[in-house]
Structure 1
């Protein structure tokens, strides 16, 4: 017979996204607005590089102030479009995500209240509370702050890549040098990231469990003079959570440094290739300037995508933990109801008595203890007519 679970289950990503997908029907209109606003704002963001590149060629041929004023007007209009598009896109995204997150919180809370007490006792209240409170907060913060910036960065990268290729296909080919370099960064990052973030969220749950159990059992700890023992356990759980968080930050900075290396290499290649094309009159200095500025414009979005991956993965880990609460309640719902029905069907007035003989009770071993505690009750007989 296998030992009982000492933690609540964690749902798979497929099951978690399937749950979220069930919340999306009926929201096609705001999703379309999000995509359209993202494309428009990404195109408007290209106005600056195109205007500056055009000025380089125009001012060399005819150093008149009209071109400067015209370029300034174009940039100003593009800035207005960019601001309005960002506001509209975020408002539409909120209409998609906020109801789904609200429904997730409600389902997790209602399912958490349906869990039987035995399951909560075995897994510890800290794990459950951290999922309902800490993980819920993480999901809310990600949908409000991280997801809009992440989607906006994706749109900018895609549209800027298309714009770079449309400017000059040869400079576009040089820009493709970035693809394998970024791919190697993501291939190095993703396999290592998921277990790190899951371990971090689990450590936060263990820390919350230690704190909650100490607060609720403070009188018992004082009676048995075990305050220092419990303080040491809290310190150990907090140290583990802190060390994992520091490790996550170091891991992220290593990924960002790989991105910086790719940025420096590819921008240098574009400048060198552009110099050669201008030297042989294959393109203009303005086109090369625009290409360099377009690629330079990708630094922040690509850095944001990689930099925000840790937040997205951390939110994903929180999502799997919250959906795991829903699955735990669903898995225990049917057997519990079935046994209750059987009990009601077999009970009669003649045998409606409770008799307990030689009862023993032992606290189950926690995750960081090899053996269970000594029995705290033994030899108890009780009969209730």
Structure 2
């Protein structure tokens, strides 16, 4: 079955990069790695000893040895088996522990990187792919770490030592037993190149299915409103069918691989028995030696089979690991290096709060530029509005100024310092953003507000609410500012959520503020009060407003009109209206005509 190629939504690291990450993380724990390997080798050696001694026991029984010669061997076999069992259990524990530590490191690193990804990256890629990586992919790796990896490693140790044991019995028995190796190699070389892309496609298909389901669930009210249930059910069915078909193809490929592994086992065991019979008849080796060799090889069936048959889960875990490491490698733009051509990179502490944008270019796709040489200056303490058609580049420019997106070329500066060069841990002390999508976290409302300033006193929180005009409705809640909100608590309206976001802004107290349509979707009844709240929250701060409602633009000190990724007009509301043929005047007339600006 041919699996069509589907590009991943977020990047997937190459195998070399994934292995480099694993080696680097293991290198941080050399002592743990050495102890884990040493215990595994000892356990495997102890597992081989009973079979070797069993061969000796067979020869002594054939030679009519008395009980005094039999009991020591039987005791040694029992002790070795006990040591092997305890050692294997301890080895499994150490391997699992090491794997879980590596997974914890990766999970924390991925989560840390995901939380710092620009909102534009998440919006472009969709949340389904990211959720599948931190959910399903982490689960696949966790299963491999706890259930597969210990068995594979212990099986590999046992396989190597069993082959060494056969060579120790008689080099010819070891040699014919090794005839199975080429068959194993052929099976693996046939399977890996074909299965790796299929497992990759399977993870991508699962991510695509998750994306469709997340979008459908998030947009359920809209789907209900337009009665588009059948369309979305069909989309989910199509995505689910693709994931199912790929999974079936993967299982069929694995079944064929299993047949090739069984063929290799038959070749090895048959060769040992045939050659062993000939050697015993010629008196070259004993029956006990051949018995031990056959049992050692037969003992290999389980560990080698486990290693081979675990390739499907190993491959799935490898594909998931590559997807997680891919998150770590996401870059949002070129790095800048301090030097004569970039004097602004020599400092990380802004002086003042003036905002300057210098010849910024950006494109999410090489053939579709979003910003084309944008330059803009916002004097300290003033308010500038960005207006323009949908897709003009307003939100992208706002994201560049807020430090949420690194531009492809050019730079945005705050107080003479490039935003990309401000200490990331202090960036939000200088510039903060409020968008139209505000999340209310579950828990007491006061804790939700303190996200912006964890050390804020109760009085300071209440003062921030009062500053944005939210004190009255908060005091009217069942428990006031201690009322539980969000999931499992009181559901806030869109306007109330925006009030909370603006109060957080006051608590954070940044010198530069970016409002990306922060009052656009709260409903016309609350729009005016929210605009007043936004004016109060940004009073005295350098402010950039991505204005959906032109009444916001009218109150700004300056207005920048954007079209096709460029600023085509700049001036005050009065100045721009004076240009009757200008783009802003056209937008204003449309706004006055229907009262919406849409």
Q: TM-score range by the shorter chain?
A: 0.7 to 0.9
Report the CA distance shift for 1:350/1:68 in structure 2 as closer, same or farther (over 3 A): closer
Following the alignment from structure 2 to structure 1, what is the Cα–Cα distance between the partners of residues 82 and 178?
31
Does the 8 A contact of 1:90 with 1:148 survive in 2?
yes
Query: What is residue 403 of structure 2 aligned with on the other side?
Result: none
Residue 356, structure 1, aligned to residue 358, structure 2:
no
Q: Once structures 1 and 2 are overlaid, which stretch shifts more, 344-353 or 117-126?
A: 344-353
Query: What is residue 370 of structure 1 aligned with on the other side?
Result: none
Following the alignment from structure 2 to structure 1, what is the Cα–Cα distance between the partners of residues 239 and 381?
52
* Deviation digits for residues 25-55 of structure 1 (CA, Å, limit 9, x no counterpart): 3422221112211111111112332233222
Taking only aligned residues, the RMSD between alpha carbons, in angstroms, comes to 2.5
Q: Once structures 1 and 2 are overlaid, which stretch shifts more, 49-58 or 184-193?
A: 49-58
Q: Once structures 1 and 2 are overlaid, which stretch shifts more, 226-235 or 114-123?
A: 114-123
Note the 1:1-385 alignment, pairs <5 A. 7-62=9-64, 64-328=66-330, 330-332=331-333, 342-343=356-357, 346-348=377-379, 352-359=383-390, 382=550, 384=553, 385=556
Following the alignment from structure 2 to structure 1, what is the Cα–Cα distance between the partners of residues 298 and 151?
18
Report the CA distance shift for 1:342/1:259 in structure 2 as closer, same or farther (over 3 A): farther
Q: CA deviation at 1:137?
A: 1.4
Following the alignment from structure 1 to structure 2, what is the Cα–Cα distance between the partners of residues 348 and 341?
7
* Structure 2: runs of 5+ lacking an equivalent: 1-6, 337-343, 346-353, 359-375, 393-547, 557-598
Report the CA distance shift for 1:6/1:142 in structure 2 as closer, same or farther (over 3 A): closer
Following the alignment from structure 1 to structure 2, what is the Cα–Cα distance between the partners of residues 32 and 359?
59
Q: CA deviation at 1:129?
A: 0.4
Bigger radius of gyration, 1 or 2?
Answer: 2
**Structure holding more helix per residue:** 1
Report the CA distance shift for 1:226/1:24 in structure 2 as closer, same or farther (over 3 A): same
* Structure 1: runs of 5+ lacking an equivalent: 362-379
**Structure holding more strand per residue:** 2
Q: CA deviation at 1:146?
A: 1.2
Q: Once structures 1 and 2 are overlaid, which stretch shifts more, 270-279 or 29-38?
A: 29-38
Q: CA deviation at 1:119?
A: 1.6
Q: Which has the higher contact order (CA 8 A, sep 6+)?
A: 1
Q: CA deviation at 1:206?
A: 0.8
Report the number of matched residues: 360
Report the CA distance shift for 1:295/1:165 in structure 2 as closer, same or farther (over 3 A): same
Following the alignment from structure 1 to structure 2, what is the Cα–Cα distance between the partners of residues 220 and 90?
51
Instruction: Compute the TM-score of the two structures, normalised by the length of structure 2.
Output: 0.57
Does the 8 A contact of 2:269 with 2:297 survive in 1?
yes
